[in-house]
Structure 1
Amino acid sequence: MPHWLQLMMDSLPTLLWAGVKFTIPLTLLSFVLGLALGLATAVARLFGPAPVVLLARFYVWVIRGTPLLVQLFVIFYGLPSIGILLDAFPAALIGFTLNVGAYTSEIIRAAISSVPKGQWEAAFSTGMNWRQAMQRTILPQAGRVAVPPLSNTFISLVKDTSLAAAITVPELFQSAQRIVATTYEPLILYIEAALIYLALSSVLSALQARLETRFARYGGMMESNR
C-alpha cells in the first residue's frame, strides 16, 4: 500500500471523530442560534421602534463589515483583557452565532418584505392579530423564499468552522494540523481534510436540492388552491 494512502487511512478515524465531536455540533448549534438571532434582528429592523432599528442595523453593519476570523480573535483573545474569559468552544459558538445571525437577518428581512401586503390584509381580515398573522401567514410564505439562501449559509458555515482552529478548538482542521505536526506530511493531511469537507458539502447540497424541490411543489399546490 502506498505511504500516502496508509497515512490517510490511519488518520481518517481521528479526523472523522473530530468532525463528529466538534465540527458538526459547532455547525448545528451556531446555525440554530444564529437563525433565531437573525429572525429577531430582521423583525426588529422591519417593525421595531427607531432606537431598536438603529441598534439592529449597527449590529449587522459591524458583523458583515469585518472578517469572521477577526471576530473570533476579538472574542477569544481580546475579551480576556477586560476580564471576560471564555473557553475555545463557547467563544467559537458565540462568534459563529453572531456572524450567522447578521447574514441570516438580511435573508429573512428580504423574504418577509417579499410577501405581498395583501397577505397581511387578508390575515387581519380574518381576525388575526399581528403575531398570529406573522406566525400563520407571513413566515410560512417567507420561509419558502428564504430556504435556498439559508441552505447556502448553512453549507458555508460547515466550511467556515475550520476557522475555529485558529482559536484552538480541536475540530476537524485542527486535528489535521496536529497530525501534520507529528508526520510532517502537510499536503496529504490537508488534502484529506479538504476531501472530508467536500464530502459533507456535497451531501448537504444534495439535501438542499431535494428540500428546494419539495418547497417548490408545496408552493405550486398553494398557488393552485387559491
Structure 2
Amino acid sequence: MEFVQHPDPEVVRKFLAAWTGIANGFLRRGGYPPELGLAMMRPEKFLSVSWDGRKLAWRQDSSGTFVIDSSDILVANFDAKTAEDFGLCDGIADNIEDLMFLLGYREWDDSLGKNNQDGVKIVGDYITEWRKTYAKSVESLNEFEKNKSDPKKLNSAKQALEKIRDSMKKFPAVEYRWKIDRGLDLNEVETMILKLKEQGKSGSGGGGTGRLGGR
C-alpha cells in the first residue's frame, strides 16, 4: 500500500504532535522524561544525557555528556545494558529464574514447567476430565430412569442422582452441559434428591421427581 501524506503540512504537524503527545503521556505517567519519549518516536529529535549529582538530566540535543542519538534519520533506542545503566529498567533477566527474582518471587517454583505442566496441557487435561465426568453422569441418568419407579430401588435412584449432583459440583462445565442438553441445573437435581428421600421415608413409589430427559 502506497503511503500518501496529507497535502496540508499544518495538518500533518498537528496530527503528529497529537499522537506523539498521547504516546508520550504513558511514559510521563511512568515517571520518564518527555525528551526520552519524543526521541524514541521522532527521528529528527536528538537525545543526550548529563549527570546533575545523582540525577540524570535528559536533553533534546547532542550537547550532553553522553550522546544517545545524534541522527535525524533514526530514532533513539537502548539495548538492555544501556537501559539499566541509565536507570530506565530495574534490572536485566537472563532467564526466567532471574525474572522471577527481580519481580520479588523469592520462592518461585518452576517444577510445573519442567514437568510438562504448562498452561496448554493443564487446560487440555481439564477439558478431557470434565467430558469424561459428563459421560459418566449420563450413565447415572440411565440408572436413575431404570430405578425411579420401583419403590424397592429408590435408594439406587437417589444414588444415581447424587452422582450427577457431585459431577456438577466438581466441574461447572458439566452443569452447563446439562443445562444446554436437558435444561437441568444443580438446584433442580438437589430438589429431586430431596423428593426421593421423602418418598423413601413414606414408603411410596412413583417417578414424579422431576425431568431428566432430553429436550
Q: The TM-score by the shorter chain falls in which range?
A: under 0.3
The answer to which structure has the higher helix fraction is: 1
The answer to which structure has the higher strand fraction is: 2
User: Which fold has the larger relative contact order, with Cα–Cα distance below 8 Å and residues 6 or more apart in sequence?
Assistant: 1
Larger radius of gyration: 2
TM-score (norm 1): 0.23
TM-score (norm 2): 0.24
